[in-house]
Structure 1
C-alpha cells in the first residue's frame, strides 16, 4: 500500500481481486499495529476480504514487534511470518563494528549505507558477542541458537500448546544448499540451552 493512497481504496481493489480468484490470502508487511487495526476494521466494516498474514522483521536481537504488533495480529487472526531471522547475516558472527564490506547489504554502496548505519552499533555487536560466547560453550553456532529461539522461545506460535503445527512461520534466506540443510536441521531441534537466554533480553 502507498502512503499517498487511502487504505480503503487499495483494500476495495484487493477485495475485487480476491473475489476474482487472483489470490488466496491477503498479507500485510511492515505495518504498524495501528495500521493493522485500521486495515482490519476497514475490511470488516465493508465486508471485504480481511488480511490473515502479517510479515515483519523479527529475531532474537530485534524484538520490537513483540509489544504491540504480535498481540494485534493474535487479536485479529493474522498469522505472523517473520523474515531476517539472523539479522541480515549479523548473527552469523562474521562481522564486527569495524567491518566494511565492499559488497552486499552492509556496504556503503547499498542504499547509501543506510543499513550499515542502522545495525553497526556497539550495543548490537556486544549482544552478538555475548550470544556467541554462550553458544560456543555448548558447541553451537549463533545461527543455530537464533533459529531455535524463534521456534521455541519467541512470541511466535510455531507450535500450539497441544504440539500441533501453529500458523506462524519463519522465512530464512540461504546462499547454498548446505546452508539450507543446516537451517532446516536447526529449526527441527529442541529448545536451546538456558545459558543463552540472558542474551535474548536485549532488544533492537
Structure 2
C-alpha cells in the first residue's frame, strides 16, 4: 500500500479508502447490504492490506454504518483515520439536516457516540447549504477542531465558487481550512477537472475520489452489446448519471483493451488511471464482497505506461465548456500547475 499527504496537511493517507455506504444491513437486497460480520471481514482485509482510512457518513443507513464501524473496530480505533460527514437529513425535524451550528454540534456528538470514539480524524461537510451563512458553519467546524473532537476538516460535493468562498471566509477569520475535497471523479465523468481539481491543486486540498468506478459502469460488465443481470444501474439508479453513453462505452472498450493486454481487470486499470491524476490523495472504494474488495486493492500495484494514459485521456476527455475552450488557446508558458489539470502541455 502506498501513502500520500492529504493536500497540504501533515496527515498521510493510504491511496485507497474503505467506503462504507454499503454498511448497515438495512436493505439486504439493495444498497445498504453489509452486516456486522461482513463489515468486520472487509475491515480486517483492508487493515491487513495497509489501508488506513475508513470513510462513512451519519446519513448512511440512518447511522447504522457508523455503528457498525464502531463495533467492528473496537480497540483498533487508533490504527485508522476515521472520516465521517454531516449535512444530510438524520431525522424528520426542521433542524435535523443542514450546516447550522445547531445541527453540526448535535451531529458530531451523535457520530462520536455511534463510532465509539472521542474524535473524528476528518469531518466532511457532505453538501452545500445555501441557507446558512458560511461564517456560522465554518466557526462551528473550527470550534470542533479547537475542542479536539475533530482533527481535520473536509468538504464534499461543493461547486468551485462555493469552495473558494468557504476557503476565503476561513482565511479571513482565521478558522481551520478544509484540507480534503471529496468529489465524484472517474473516467466516466471527469467534470471535476473543470474547476475542483485545479482549485485543489492551487489551494492545497487533497482529493478523495468517491465512486471511482462510476457505480460499476467501468468494471467491464456494461458494454454496448451486453448488460449485466444485476448491478446498480440495472435497477435504474441515476447516480452517477450517464450523460454520454457513446463516450462511456468507448472508455470501457479502451479499459478492456488495456486490461486484456496486461492480464488484469478493467476496473483495476480505471483505478490505476485515477491515481496518476493531480491532487488525488485517495480513492474511496466499496465492495459487496471480500473478493471484489481484494481485486480493487490490487489496482494500486499497476503502473500504466504513458501511451496507455494518453489513450485513456483521449477517449474519456470531457468537452471543453466556456471559458475553458477559450483558455485552451493560451500558450503553455502562461499556464501554472492548476491550469495543466485541464490543459496539459502538448
Give yes or no for TM over 0.5.
Answer: yes
Kindly indicate whether the alpha-carbon contact (under 8 Å) linking 1:85 and 1:171 is maintained by their aligned counterparts in 2. Answer: yes
- The answer to whether structure 1 residue 90 and structure 2 residue 203 are counterparts is no
Query: Structure 1 residues 177-186 or 44-53, which shifts more?
Result: 177-186
Shift in Å at residue 203 of structure 1?
3.3
CA RMSD, aligned part only? 2.5
Alignment-derived partner of residue 163 in structure 1? none
Q: Which runs of 4+ in 1 moved over 6 A?
A: none
Alignment-derived partner of residue 6 in structure 1? 133
Alignment-derived partner of residue 203 in structure 1? 317
Q: Which has a greater percent of helix?
A: 1
Kindly indicate whether the alpha-carbon contact (under 8 Å) linking 1:61 and 1:203 is maintained by their aligned counterparts in 2. Answer: no
Paired residues for 1:41-60 under 5 Å: 41-60=168-187
Query: Structure 1 residues 185-194 or 64-73, which shifts more?
Result: 185-194
Q: 1:116 to 1:71 in 2, by over 3 A?
A: closer
Paired residues for 1:154-165 under 5 Å: 154-157=277-280
Alignment-derived partner of residue 161 in structure 1? none
1:83, 1:115 → 2: CA distance?
12
Q: Which has a greater percent of strand?
A: 2
Pairs aligned (count): 189
1:107 paired residue among 235, 238, 253: 235
SS at match of 1:25: strand
1:33, 1:115 → 2: CA distance?
20
Q: Greater Rg, structure 1 or structure 2? A: 2
Shift in Å at residue 149 of structure 1?
1.0
Higher RCO structure, 1 or 2 (CA under 8 Å, sep 6+): 1
- The answer to whether structure 1 residue 121 and structure 2 residue 235 are counterparts is no
2:188 paired residue among 53, 56, 61: 61
Relative to the length of structure 1, the TM-score reads 0.79
Q: 1:116 to 1:180 in 2, by over 3 A?
A: closer
2:291, 2:137 → 1: CA distance?
41
1:80, 1:127 → 2: CA distance?
22
Structure 2: stretches of 5+ with no match in the other structure: 1-127, 319-346
1:140, 1:100 → 2: CA distance?
20
Alignment-derived partner of residue 160 in structure 1? none
